[in-house]
Each structure stands twice: as structure tokens, then as C-alpha cells.
């Protein structure tokens, strides 16, 4: 190749690039580029000068930690109404070197769908709120759902067609299908049917060249990668084709809580020995949470509460004898149980009053944490934690300064143990008793307050080290944690960091993800702080 004389196109590209860098308002050129492709397109662009910009940006910021004046903001928000708008956005963003952050539901734990840790980054938010059509086909037990739809909208659409169909995804209604399935997506049906990404049978994706691909045209490597290999990495997912699962018309739920430390610890200890071996029609999740001011119900009470939440795919008559036989220590009583449809169980888990209408699933304004900021981390437990380990957890929770924090545990086993680790990028399968989420919530503003809570949480995570998976210390990609791999260091820092979080989230699937990324997006256009890097970016 002769590189001595730059060719004319390269000079033009260089000129465009310089223009982009020196321009005080790069979005004007970006807008001209968009208009060139579609004269109507400006009606879906919100610049910073637009009076609706802030409310639109904030409307799906789900972690108030990233909603401060110091949080880096996008240059503009782009709200496509049709696929061609996404193609134009990709073409013009590439031409004008603006990074795209695609947002579906906005629940990213580290705010990466609408912000960044790099204050100087020029980026736009491609917000899929207007692409949320859902078509359920009962005879084939499938649904096409656009990525901007929420889980609540999906469950509502399914319930409108059938009381005995469901989809095995997450339990909070406003979570978006775009990010959720891109990172895995688990909920109360995981022991029976696996996770959301296990139940995707086709998809519509716009790639870096602006091509619209389906499963047949993208090929099995890319189709494998998008089912759990992380969002904002391989392309923009426009829609998923989901395989629906059958559920009985009536399911049974219960919540049992203990506040006495001794009783709580004993139950947790027992719980670990039975949960992964229960029949897969039954899931018993657990949490131990310190509640104080951030909990409006128990205003001033600082209590540590151990809770067990359960879903049984059947009626009370079947559940009671099963619990008596498998987990008698919990002492489950009929009056603790309530029967309802599967769709309504989502509202139950989300804390809605029992008589809430199913339409509550459609409410996009509900917030899981109110004004509280949060940080989460995750772990996998393969050997039961000893009693002394739990005693230490209780001590951690009692440490001064923490308002609300704790552990949320989801039991594995059942179908999760049957699916091979390399089936899709999500690798946490056989051998796990349960998944742990360590979490802290706080309401105070400011960096100092945040640092206190973050340090507390990091201390709890440190404390958990001997009790959880090692080499790698596994973590759930959808509970994004920028602490993982932070101390990569060295000249190969990026590479080491990526390997660190990459093996935690994806174990041995990381290498295949890198190969797919290198094949479909070698210049690393779709990226964020924790997206799979192409091989070329390490050289």
C-alpha cells in the first residue's frame, strides 16, 4: 500500500474531521447532515437550547446519582420514530464524530445510556421511547417487541391476549427491553424458563453501516452476541422476537419477614441449603436490608429486615405442602399467601397495593428509589455461607451512616443449571446456588455523602470476598459496576481492564464476544466505558 501521498478522499475526511473538532457547535453540522437525509428529521431532535431538553433527559434517568449539574450531558437527544431515523443518526454521528449512547429504559446502574465518566466526550442520546410497539401472537406463542418498550408494557400486552402466557424477564415494570435483554434479564421465572435472553428467537438490529439486519442476515455469531453481551456494543437493537412461556392461570405469592437477628440469620442459613434444589415451579428469593429514613413506610425505624419473597406456579393448595416438606423452618402459613394472575405478580413484587389495576404496568413514571441515589454490585454464591459469615453481614449493615443498604438474593438452579455456559454470553449457570446484589441507597446530595456510602458498599463487597465466586469473581452485566477492573493499570490498562470486567460478566464467552465485535464494528463506533472492545483497539 502506498501511503506517501494521501489521496483526495483522505484529505476531505481530514478536513471534515478538523471542522468537527474546531466548530463551536458541532451539532449544527450534525443537524445539516440529518436534514440532508430526511428533511422532516429536525422534529425529533432536542438540542440543549430546547426548553424540553432537561425534562426529556431526566424522564428516564433512573438513578438520581447521575442527575446533577456536574453530570456530563449529551449534545442533543434524538428520538427516532422509525428505523430510517436510526440509520441517519448512525451515518451522521460517524461523519461528525459524535458518540451515540442508546437509551431504552434508562436503568443502567452507572448511567451510561445518557451520561459518561469522560467530561469532554461529545455524545448524543438516541432515545428509543417512541419505538415501543408490541405484537403478541398467541397461536405461535411469540411476540415482536420494540426495544423502547418497557417490561410492564410487554407484560400488559401479553396479559391482554392470554392469562396463561408470560415472558421470563425482570420484575420492575419500567425497565426497558433494549438494555435489559442486551445484558441478560432475569426475574421470577428464571428457575423454570431461564432468563430473557435465553428466550429470544429473532431480532432486528441496525449495524454500524446503517444496515437493518434480522437473525438470518446478521448470522449466528452476532445473534449470539446480542443476547447478553451488553448494550451499546454491537449495534442498535430495534426489536426482539420473544418466545413466550406458559404459566398457570393462577400463581401464588408470599412474603415472610423477620426482624430478630438470630431468627433471620438462621433462616438465611437454611435457605441456602434448599433454594437451588426446590422444584422449578417454585422460586424463593430473599433479602436482608437495613431500612431507615429512605423507607417512607417505617419512617424512623432503623431495622434490619430479613425477607423471603416467593412465586409458585400453581395454587395455595400445592404450595403449602411443598413448603412444609422442603423449607419447614420458614413456617409458611396460608394467610401469608395470595393467589393472582402471573401479570399481577409483577405488581405485587414491585410493591403495588393488592387491588391495583393491571394498567399500573403501563406507568412509566414510577420510580423504584424515589429521589434516592444508588449503587449496586453483584456476586455469585456457590457454597453456603456459614452462620458466622451472616453474623458479619449483620454487623456491616449496622455500621453508622448507611441509610438503606443490604443484600438481595435470587436463587438459581432448575433450568439455569441445564443451560450450557456458552449457549449465550450470559455465563452464570450450573454450580450457582444464588446471585447476590449488594446495594446502597442514599438521599443526601454531594460528593462527600456519596463517597461515604460508596465506601461502605465497597467495604461490604470486600467482606463478601471469601464467600463468593473466585477466578473470576463473577458479576451480572446488567448490574453494571464500574469498580470492576478500575485498577487495570499499566500501558495495557484498557486491555487489562476490559479483561477484568469482561471475565466477571462473561467468563469464557468474553473472547468470542471480542471476535464478534472485531468483525462487526472494528473501529469501535458503538462503545461506552464497559463495552466489548475490538481487537484493533488494543494495539
Q: Which residues bind ligand FAD (CB under 6 A)?
A: 62, 101-109, 112-113, 128, 147, 170-172, 175-176, 178-180, 182-187, 231-232, 236-237, 368, 478, 528
Q: Which is nearer to ligand NAG, 184 or 210 (CB)?
A: 210
Partner that binds at residue 66, options ligand FAD, ligand NAG, none, CB closer than 5 to 8 Å by kind = none
Measured distance CA(46)–CA(34) in Å, rounded: 13
Interacting residues with ligand NAG (CB under 6 A): 38, 40, 42-43, 45-46, 50-52, 299-300
Question: For residues 51 and 471, which CB has a smaller minimum distance to ligand NAG in the complex?
Answer: 51
Residue 46 binding result from ligand FAD, ligand NAG, none, given CB thresholds of 5 to 8 Å by partner type: ligand NAG
Residue nearer to ligand NAG on the CB measure, 45 or 175: 45
Supply the minimum distance, in Å, between the C-beta of residue 167 and ligand FAD.
Answer: 12
336 binding partner (options ligand NAG, ligand FAD, none; Cβ < 5 to 8 Å by kind): none
- H/E run at residue 22: helix 8-22
481 close to 510: Cβ distance less than 8 angstroms? no
Which listed option, ligand NAG, ligand FAD, none, makes contact with residue 175 (CB within 5 to 8 Å by class)?
A: ligand FAD
Phi, psi of 443 (to 5 degrees): -110, -20
119: DSSP letter:
T
Out of ligand FAD, ligand NAG, none, which partner does residue 38 contact, by CB within 5 to 8 A per kind?
Answer: ligand NAG
Dihedral over Cα of 163, 169, 172, 176: its sign:
negative
Cβ atoms within 10 Å of 165's Cβ, excluding its own: 20
Q: Nearer to ligand FAD by C-beta: 109 or 380?
A: 109
Q: Of 45 and 332, which CB lies nearer to ligand NAG in the complex structure?
A: 45
The strand pair at 123-127 and 99-103 is best described as parallel
Minimum distance, C-beta of residue 95 to ligand FAD, in the bound complex (Å): 21
Distance CA 453, CA 401 (A): 8
Annotated catalytic residue within 380, 479, 505, 506 = 479
Provide the grid cell at 395.
454487623
Helix H or strand E segment including 68:
none
- Beta carbon of residue 324, minimum distance to ligand FAD (angstroms, whole number): 29
End-to-end CA distance of the chain: 20
Strand spans (E) along 200-280: 200-206, 212-213, 236-243, 245-246, 251-258
52 binds, among ligand FAD, ligand NAG, none (CB under 5 to 8 A by kind): ligand NAG
Quote the DSSP letter at residue 9: H
- Which residue, 147 or 284, is less far from ligand FAD as judged by CB? 147
- Kindly state the smallest distance separating residue 442's Cβ from ligand NAG, in Å: 17
Cα atoms in the Cβ-side hemisphere of radius 13 Å centred on 272: 24
Query: Looking at beta carbons only, is 88 or 93 nearer to ligand NAG?
Result: 88
Cβ of residue 60: shortest distance to ligand FAD, in angstroms? 7
Q: How far is the CB of 39 from ligand NAG (least distance, A)?
A: 6
Q: Between 239 and 267, whose beta carbon lies closer to ligand FAD?
A: 239
- Residue 303 belongs to what H/E stretch? strand 303-312
Q: How far is the CB of 75 from ligand FAD (least distance, A)?
A: 16
Residue from 57, 51, 53, 67 nearest 370 by CA: 67
Residue whose CB is less far from ligand NAG, 65 or 85 = 85
Phi, psi of 438 (to 5 degrees): -95, 135
Look at residue 50 and give the partner it binds from ligand FAD, ligand NAG, none, a contact being a CB closer than 5 to 8 Å depending on partner kind.
ligand NAG
Q: Which does 61 bind (CB under 5 to 8 A by kind): ligand NAG, ligand FAD, none?
A: none
C-alpha cell of 146? Answer: 420494540
Q: How far is CA 320 from CA 317, 335, 349, 423, in A?
A: 6, 11, 20, 35
Across the beta sheet with 45-47, the strand order is 45-47, 76-78, 123-127, 99-103
Residue 522 to residue 417: CA distance in whole angstroms:
34
Cβ-Cβ contacts under 8 Å for 82 (sequence gap 6 or more): none
Which option in ligand FAD, ligand NAG, none does residue 51 bind, with CB closer than 5 to 8 A by kind? ligand NAG
What is the nearest approach in angstroms of ligand FAD to the Cβ of residue 221? 17
Active site residue 479: yes
Question: What is d(CA 512, CA 9) in angstroms, rounded to the nearest whole number?
Answer: 34
For residue 91, give the nearest of 9, 15, 33, 176 by alpha carbon: 33
Mode of pairing for the β-strands spanning 76-78 and 45-47: antiparallel
Compute the least distance from the CB of residue 171 to ligand FAD, in Å. 4
Active site residues: 479
Amino acid at each position: 500500500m502506498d501511503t506517501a501521498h494521501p489521496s483526495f478522499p483522505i484529505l476531505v475526511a481530514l478536513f471534515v474531521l478538523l471542522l468537527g473538532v474546531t466548530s463551536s457547535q458541532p451539532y449544527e453540522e450534525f443537524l445539516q447532515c440529518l436534514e440532508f437525509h430526511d428533511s422532516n428529521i429536525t422534529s425529533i431532535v432536542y438540542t440543549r437550547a430546547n426548553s424540553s431538553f432537561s425534562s426529556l433527559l431526566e424522564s428516564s434517568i433512573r438513578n438520581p446519582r447521575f442527575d446533577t449539574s456536574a453530570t456530563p450531558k449529551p449534545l442533543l437527544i434524538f428520538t427516532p420514530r422509525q428505523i430510517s431515523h436510526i440509520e441517519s443518526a448512525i451515518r451522521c454521528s460517524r461523519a461528525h464524530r459524535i458518540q451515540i449512547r442508546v437509551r431504552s429504559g434508562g436503568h443502567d446502574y452507572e448511567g451510561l445510556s445518557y451520561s459518561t465518566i469522560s467530561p469532554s466526550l461529545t455524545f448524543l442520546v438516541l432515545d428509543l421511547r417512541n419505538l415501543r410497539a408490541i405484537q403478541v401472537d398467541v397461536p405461535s406463542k411469540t411476540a415482536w417487541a420494540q426495544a423502547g418498550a418497557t417490561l410492564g408494557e410487554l407484560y400488559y400486552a401479553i396479559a391482554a391476549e392470554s392469562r396463561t402466557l408470560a415472558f421470563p424477564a425482570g420484575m420492575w415494570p419500567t425497565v426497558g427491553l433494549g438494555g435489559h435483554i442486551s445484558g441478560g434479564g432475569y426475574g421470577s421465572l428464571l428457575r423454570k424458563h431461564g432468563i430473557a435472553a435465553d428466550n429470544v428467537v429473532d431480532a432486528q438490529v441496525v449495524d454500524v453501516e446503517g444496515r437493518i439486519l434480522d437473525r438470518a442476515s446478521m448470522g449466528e455469531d452476532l445473534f449470539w452476541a446480542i443476547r447478553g453481551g451488553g448494550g451499546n456494543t454491537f449495534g442498535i437493537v430495534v426489536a426482539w422476537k420473544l418466545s413466550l412461556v406458559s404459566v398457570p392461570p393462577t400463581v401464588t405469592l408470599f412474603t415472610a419477614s423477620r426482624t430478630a437477628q438470630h431468627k433471620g440469620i438462621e433462616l438465611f442459613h437454611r435457605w441456602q441449603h434448599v433454594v437451588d434444589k426446590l422444584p422449578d415451579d417454585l422460586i424463593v428469593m430473599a433479602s436482608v436490608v437495613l431500612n431507615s429514613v429512605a423507607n417512607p413506610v417505617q419512617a424512623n425505624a432503623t431495622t434490619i429486615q430479613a425477607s423471603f419473597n416467593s412465586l409458585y406456579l400453581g395454587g395455595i393448595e400445592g404450595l403449602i405442602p411443598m413448603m412444609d416438606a422442603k423449607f419447614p423452618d420458614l413456617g409458611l402459613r396460608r394467610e401469608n399467601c395470595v393467589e393472582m394472575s402471573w401479570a399481577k405478580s409483577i405488581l405485587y413484587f414491585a410493591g403495588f397495593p393488592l387491588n391495583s389495576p393491571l394498567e399500573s404496568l403501563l406507568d412509566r413514571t414510577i420510580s423504584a428509589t424515589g429521589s434516592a441515589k444508588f449503587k449496586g454490585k453483584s456476586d455469585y454464591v456457590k457454597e453456603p455461607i456459614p452462620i458466622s459469615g451472616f453474623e458479619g453481614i449483620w454487623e456491616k449493615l449496622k455500621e453508622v451512616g448507611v441509610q438503606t443498604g443490604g443484600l438481595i438474593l435470587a436463587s438459581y438452579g432448575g433450568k439455569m443449571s441445564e443451560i450450557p455456559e456458552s449457549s449465550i454470553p450470559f455465563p452464570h449457570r450450573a454450580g450457582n446456588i444464588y446471585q447476590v446484589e449488594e446495594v446502597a441507597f442514599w438521599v443526601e446530595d454531594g460528593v462527600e455523602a456519596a463517597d461515604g456510602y460508596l465506601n461502605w458498599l465497597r467495604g461490604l463487597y470486600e467482606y463478601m470476598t471469601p464467600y463468593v465466586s473466585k477466578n473470576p469473581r463473577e458479576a451480572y452485566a446488567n448490574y453494571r459496576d464500574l469498580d470492576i477492573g478500575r485498577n487495570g493499570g499499566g500501558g495495557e490498562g484498557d486491555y487489562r481492564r476490559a479483561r477484568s470486567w469482561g471475565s466477571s460478566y462473561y467468563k469464557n464467552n468474553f473472547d468470542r464476544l471480542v471476535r464478534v465485535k472485531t468483525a462487526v464494528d472494528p473501529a469501535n463506533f458503538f462503545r461506552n466505558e464497559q463495552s466489548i472492545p475490538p481487537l484493533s483497539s488494543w494495539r
